[in-house]
Chain A
Amino acid sequence: MDSSLVTLILLSLFLGCGCWLFFIWAVKKGEFDDIERPKHRMLEDDKNEHDQNR
Chain B
Amino acid sequence: MTCFHCGITIPKGMLVTEQRNDETLEFCCKGCRGAYLLIIGAGFGDFYRRRDWQEPGFGEQAFQTAFHDPYLLRFVYQYGDLSAVDIIIDGIRCATCVWLNEKIIGQLPGVREVRVNYATSRARVVFEQAEITPAAIFSRIGELGYLPRPYTRSAAEESATREKKDLLIRFGTAFFLTMQLMAYSFALYAGYFQGIGAGIKFSLQIFSCLVTTPVIFYSGWPFLRGAWRGIINRAPNMELLIAIGALSSYIYSIYATFMGGEVYYETAAMIITLILAGRLLENVARRQAAVGVERLLNLTAGEARRFTGDELETVDVAELSAGDLLLVGPGERFPVDGRLVEGTTDVDESPATGESLPISKNRGDHLIAGSINLTGTVRVICDKPAAESFIARVARLVEEAQSRRAPIQGLADRASAFFVPAVLLLSTVTFFWQYSMAAGQLGTALMTALAVVVIACPCALGLATPTAILAGTGAAAASGVIFKGGDILERLSRISVAVFDKTGTITYGKPVVVEICPAAGVDPIEVIALAAAVEKGSLHPIGRALCDYAFVNDIPATAGEQLKTVAGGGVTGIVQNEPVAVGSARFLAGLGVTGIPGCVDFTPGTTVVCIARSGFWMATVVLRDRMQDSAPPLIAYFRKSGIRSLLLSGDRLETVQHTAGFLGISDGIGEISPAGKAGYIEGLRNKGETVLMVGDGINDAPALSAADVGCAVAGGTDIALETSDLVLVKPDLERLVFAHRMARRTMSVVKQNLVWAFIYNLVGIPLAMTGRLTPVYAAAAMTLSSICVIGNSLRITRYKHG
A residues in contact (CB < 8 Å) with B? 1-2, 5-6, 9, 12-13, 16, 19-20, 23-24, 27-28, 32-37, 40-41, 44, 47-48
Contact = CB atoms under 8 A, between A and B. Distances in A.
A5 B200 contact: yes
A19 B119 contact: no
Contacts, number: 63
Contact of B180 (A12, A32, A36): A12
A16 to B, nearest CB: 6
Nearest to A24: B169
B119 A27 contact: no
Contacts of A35: 119
Interface string B167-193: 011001100100110011000000000
B180 A37 contact: no
Contacts of B46: 47
B287 to A, nearest CB: 10
A47 B45 CA distance: 11
B683 interface: no
B247 to A, nearest CB: 24
Interface of A is mostly: helix
30 contacts: A1-B200, A2-B197, A2-B200, A2-B203, A5-B203, A6-B203, A12-B180, A13-B180, A13-B211, A16-B180, A19-B176, A20-B173, A23-B172, A24-B169, A24-B172, A27-B165, A27-B168, A27-B169, A28-B165, A32-B168, A34-B117, A34-B118, A36-B95, A37-B116, A37-B118, A37-B119, A40-B98, A40-B99, A47-B43, A48-B44
A44 B207 contact: no
B199 interface: yes
Contact of A34 (B119, B169, B180, B200): B119
Contacts of B207: 9
B245 to A, nearest CB: 25
Contacts of A20: 172-173, 176
Contacts of A13: 180, 211
A9 B161 CA distance: 36
Interface in B576-603: none
Nearest to B197: A2
A25 to B, nearest CB: 11
Report, nearest first, the 5 A-B pairs whose CB atoms are least far apart: A40-B95, A37-B118, A36-B118, A34-B117, A20-B176
Interface residues of B, number: 30
A20 B178 CA distance: 12
Contacts of B203: 2, 5-6
Contacts of A28: 165
A20 B219 CA distance: 14
A24 B169 CA distance: 6
Given A33-B117, A36-B118, A37-B117, A27 B172 contact: yes
Nearest to B179: A16
A9 to B, nearest CB: 6
Nearest to B107: A48
Contacts of A19: 176
B208 to A, nearest CB: 10
Given A37-B119, A40-B99, A40-B118, A16 B200 contact: no
A28 to B, nearest CB: 7
Interface string B41-59: 0011010000000000000
Contacts of B211: 13
Interface string B87-104: 000000001101100010
B690 to A, nearest CB: 36
A5 B91 CA distance: 58
A34 B92 CA distance: 15
B176 A37 contact: no
A47 B172 CA distance: 39
Interface in B192-215: 197, 199-200, 203, 207, 211
A37 B120 CA distance: 11
Given A6-B203, A23-B176, A37-B95, 12 more contacts: A12-B183, A16-B179, A23-B169, A24-B169, A24-B172, A27-B165, A27-B169, A33-B117, A34-B120, A36-B118, A36-B119, A37-B118
A48 B43 contact: yes
Contacts of A2: 197, 199-200, 203
Contacts of A1: 200
Interface in B474-514: none
Given A2-B203, A28-B165, A44 B99 contact: yes
B76 to A, nearest CB: 22
Nearest to B200: A2
